[in-house]
Amino acid sequence: MSRKKTDNGRLIFLPLGGAGEIGMNCYVFGYGPAGRERLIVVDLGVTFPDMEGTPGVDLIMPDIAWLEENVDRIEAIFITHAHEDHIGGLAHLWPRLGKKVYCRRFTANIARRKMEEHGRDVSVIRELESFPAMVDLGPLRVGFMPVPHSIPEASGLVIDTPAGRVVHTGDFKLDPTPIIGDPYDPNLWEAVAAPGVQALICDSTNVFTPHSGRSEATVGPEITRLVSEAKNMVVATTFASNIARLQTLADAGRAAGRSVVLLGRAMRRMIEAGVESGVVTNFPPVISAEEARDMPREKVMLIVTGSQGERRAASAQLSRGKYQGLSLREGDLFLFSSKTIPGNEIGVGRIINAFSEMGVDVVDDSSSLYHVSGHANRPDLQKVHQLINPKMLVPMHGEHRHLREHARLGEAAGIPSAICTNGTMLDLAGKAPRVVDHVETGRTYLDGARMIGALDGVVRDRIRMALNGIIVVGILIDEDDEIAGDAWAEIKGLPDSGRNGAVLVDEIEDAVNSALERASDKIVSDDEAIEGVVRKVARQVAQDEIGKKPEVVVLVSRLVAA
Nearer to its own copies, 255 or 341 (CB): 341
Nearer to its own copies, 11 or 459 (CB): 459
Give me the least distance between CB of 214 and its own copies, in Å please. Answer: 18
Listed residue (328, 391, 393) closest to 359, CA to CA: 328
Give me the least distance between CB of 54 and its own copies, in Å please. Answer: 10
- Phi then psi for residue 12, to 5 deg, are -100, 150
Contact 139, 32 (CB under 8 A): yes
Length of the chain: 562
**Does a cis peptide bond (omega within 30 degrees of 0) precede residue 132?**
yes
Task: Show Cβ contacts of residue 242 under 8 Å, excluding neighbours closer than 6 positions.
Answer: 150, 151, 338, 374
Distances, alpha carbon 453 to alpha carbons 18, 219, 444, in Å? 18, 43, 5
Contact 437, 240 (CB under 8 A): no
Buried b (16+ CB within 10 A) or exposed e, 126-161: ebbebbeebbebbbbbbbbbbbbbbbbbbbbbbbbb
Give me the least distance between CB of 550 and its own copies, in Å please. Answer: 9
Nearer to its own copies, 57 or 246 (CB): 57
Beta bridge partners of 61: 444
| 99-102-108 Cα angle (round to 5) | 115
Buried b (16+ CB within 10 A) or exposed e, 414-425: ebbbbbbbbbbb
Nearer to its own copies, 35 or 343 (CB): 343
Give me the least distance between CB of 552 and its own copies, in Å please. Answer: 10
Nearer to its own copies, 170 or 474 (CB): 474
Give me the least distance between CB of 42 and its own copies, in Å please. Answer: 23
Give me the least distance between CB of 375 and its own copies, in Å please. Answer: 16
Task: Show Cβ contacts of residue 457 under 8 Å, excluding neighbours closer than 6 positions.
Answer: none
Amino acid sitting at position 81: H
Residues that bind its own copies (CB under 8 A): 20, 50-52, 55-56, 208, 342-343, 345-346, 349, 352-354, 356-357, 359, 362, 366, 399-401, 403-404, 447-450, 452, 456, 458-459, 461-463, 465-470, 472, 474, 476, 484-485, 488, 490, 492-495, 497-499, 545-548, 551, 553, 555, 557, 559-560
Amino acid sitting at position 489: A
Nearer to its own copies, 186 or 547 (CB): 547
Nearer to its own copies, 383 or 548 (CB): 548
Nearer to its own copies, 144 or 336 (CB): 336
Nearer to its own copies, 132 or 547 (CB): 547
Give me the least distance between CB of 333 and its own copies, in Å please. Answer: 14
Nearer to its own copies, 34 or 467 (CB): 467
Give me the least distance between CB of 401 and its own copies, in Å please. Answer: 4
Burial-class residue 321 by CB neighbours within 10 Å (0-12, 13-18, 19+): exposed
Nearer to its own copies, 216 or 551 (CB): 551
Rounded-to-integer distance, Cα 250 and Cα 266, Å: 16
Q: Is 84 helix (H, G, I), strand (E, B) or coil?
A: helix
Listed residue (349, 276, 278) closest to 308, CA to CA: 349
How remote is the C-alpha of 428 from its chain's centroid? 28
Give me the least distance between CB of 543 and its own copies, in Å please. Answer: 8
Nearer to its own copies, 230 or 403 (CB): 403
Give me the least distance between CB of 141 and its own copies, in Å please. Answer: 36
Distances, alpha carbon 526 to alpha carbons 516, 532, 551, in Å? 12, 10, 21
Give me the least distance between CB of 104 and its own copies, in Å please. Answer: 32
Q: Is 404 helix (H, G, I), strand (E, B) or coil?
A: helix
Distances, alpha carbon 124 to alpha carbons 89, 117, 121, in Å? 15, 15, 6
Give me the least distance between CB of 556 and its own copies, in Å please. Answer: 9
Helix (H) or strand (E) holding 444: strand 443-447
Burial-class residue 205 by CB neighbours within 10 Å (0-12, 13-18, 19+): buried
